[in-house]
Amino acid sequence: MIDNEQADRQEKSVLRRISAKTSQDCSADSAALKTGANRCHVGLSPGLFMFFLTILAGVGSVAAQEPSASRIEQAEKEPQNWLTFYGNYAGWSYSALNQISSKNVKQLLPAWTFPAGYPPSTTSLRAGLEAAPLVLDGVLYLVGPQNNVYAIDAAAGRLVWQYVYDWSKKEPTPGNKGARGLAMGDGRIYMGTQDDHMVALDAKSGDELWNVKTDDVYKCLCSITSPPLFVKGKVITGVAGGDGPFRAYIQAFDSATGKLLWHFDTVPAPGDAGSETWPGGDTWKVGGGATWLTGSYDPDLHLVYWGTGNAFPDLIGEGRAGSNLYTASLLALDADTGKLKWYFQETPHDVYDFDSQPEPVLLDIDQGGHKRKVVLHSSKNGYAYMLDRETGKFLRGFAYVDTVTWTKGLDEEGKPIGAMIPGESKDFLFCPGGRGGRNFNHSAYSPRTGWWYTTAFEICSRMVHGTDLFEGDMLNPNSPPHIAAFDPLTGKKQWSFPTKYWNQSSLLSTAGDLIFAGDLEGDVFALDARTGQKLWSFSTGGRIASPPVSFSVKGRQYVAVSSGGGSSREGFVPNFWPETKNHLPQPAATLFVFALPEKNQ
């Protein structure tokens, strides 16, 4: 047994040796450069690295263990960890930790911060930090804006290892999309890159295990920006793009080798089911349908649920008659084969840029004494749809924004009624506008309240017939941007919290009856999950456009949020609020981690 003083002396000794070796050992070796990576493990040899982890385990940090799919399936049994992008396979963004509560959240203070670097000037990588970290057994994993990956002592904020993705010999990447997170499973960390590679790293050392090129970024103008989904030996990923001439897809790779296992095109080829919705010509070849955001997974049904983006050309539909499957849809795919089980198209023949990319939220509801598996899925079109997740049958829908004008409502099958279509309608103002009811910022669900929490932008757009551009966007004069709580079973709004500008951060719900979020002025804040009252805020000094997460180490709960912005929508804020010009913080890249003072735990 190592006593505290001895452990402290040993830890300081190790850290002194690390500091002495870091500058000479963090340069890229020739083997690393050949694979497009620089493995920089803070100057540790394998033996010293394991000794360091052993010492840290004795003084408050724990070496990473191998997470399996079964652990992620039962994520609720280990709330101290955050094992997948949404915290669980169901897409809840919910933490069962309750040490931080509505009663004591005002005492929350920064515990540590970590700088995640800045994109080098030789590339067009987007500045900012949009990523959500993962946490496993006392180690936090974070991807920076330049696709570097960091393993960090989750209690102390000390770097354990880092993986540096080499951009030095690459041209600027088209698209400028960003990096939003990681996946983990079977002892590996998985990352999609902005130049279309899938990479697997050893979770304990940061060594690159495989690196597979998935597409040609300069031909497809696409990239991988959201984290993949790890499911039973498979790494499943979508792809960003679709606002250009691109045919999107979902792919699954063997988690051990990187071998491609299946590929599903979101726009069917001639002869495939759904191809009749692209009549005439070759528009299907560049039909869009990007799979921007991470999907959800039902272990019982072994189905993966994934949303798709708009059809291309984005705002002009004359050349692509038909409903244009499977764009603007929710898909259910067999996780083993990628075969389509069912689909539900939310905006047929989309001419509004109404992607259906948001996260599918999986719920089990009580219906007449029997449990029914449902999926709650929202679209940029302003509606949330409740579907049977075994069959895709439409059950009900409700508007999560205050004003919807592009359609008169939804019919019994969930299809829009009397939608305004260019060529059939005169120039018109439609709400929500092309920026959507919300965008990349995902929602949260709390099993304690039974409520679903979401952001609403409340922005409208004016469509001018014969152009592929909006003449102008405007704020909804009847409603400010806000965060709202809904009963997903009835669609009834429970409360609304107005935000100064539209909210770009995702939401986190916790068992402490709190909703965490952040704003573009740099404040991370907490709302009462039952009333919407603002209880706490802290200025990070950087825009927040990221998902907060929560975890614990040795009984102490933490809330982590990336500060620095990076979302595409930030640049449009001064168009609506001129006073924000030269007022909003500049892009940055810092992870902030908060906790209660130790004496108050």
Place of tokens 């997948």: 84
d(CA 438, CA 456): 6
Question: Helical H runs in 150-291?
Answer: 217-220
The single residue of 215, 298, 350, 353 carrying the catalytic annotation is 353
In sequence order, what are the residues at sequence separation of 6 or more whose Cβ sits closer than 8 angstroms to the Cβ of residue 45? none
Look at residues 184, 63, 180 and name the one whose alpha carbon lies nearest to residue 439: 180
Helix 46-59 / helix 4-25 crossing angle, nearest 10 deg:
150
Which single residue is written with the structure tokens 């009252």?
A: 533
Check: CB of residue 135 under 8 Å from CB of residue 549.
Answer: yes
Burial letters 530-541, b for 16+ CB under 10 A, else e: bebeebbbbebe
Are the beta carbons of 148 and 208 closer than 8 angstroms?
A: no
CA distance 28 to 290: 35
The span from the CA of 480 to the CA of 457, in Å, is 8
Distance in angstroms (rounded) separating the CA atoms of residues 229 and 185: 9
Distance CA 423, CA 470 (A): 15
Q: If you compute the radius of gyration of the chain from its CA atoms, what whole number of angstroms results?
A: 23
d(Cα 439, Cα 144) in Å, to the nearest integer?
21
Task: Give one DSSP letter per residue of 457-494, joined into a string.
Answer: --EEEEE-TT-SSEEEEEE-TT---EEEEE-TTT--EE
Q: Decide: 511 and 528 in contact? Cβ < 8 Å.
A: no
Number of neighbours of residue 293 by Cβ within 10 angstroms: 26
ω before 67 within 30° of 0 (cis)?
no
3-state SS record for 155-168: CCCCEEEEEEECCC
Q: CB burial class (10 A; 0-12, 13-18, 19+) of residue 23?
A: exposed
The span from the CA of 178 to the CA of 567, in Å, is 8
* 353 flagged as catalytic: yes
What is the residue type of 61? S
Name the amino acid, one letter, at 566. G
End-to-end CA distance of the chain: 26
Interacting residues of 258 by C-beta distance below 8 A, sequence separation 6+: 198, 200, 210, 211, 212
Give 492-498's long-range contacts (Cβ < 8 A, gap of 24+). 494/449, 494/451, 494/532, 495/531, 495/532, 496/532, 497/527, 497/532, 497/533, 497/534
Residue with tokens 């804006």: 145
Question: And the tokens for 387?
Answer: 């579907």
Residues serving a catalytic function are 353
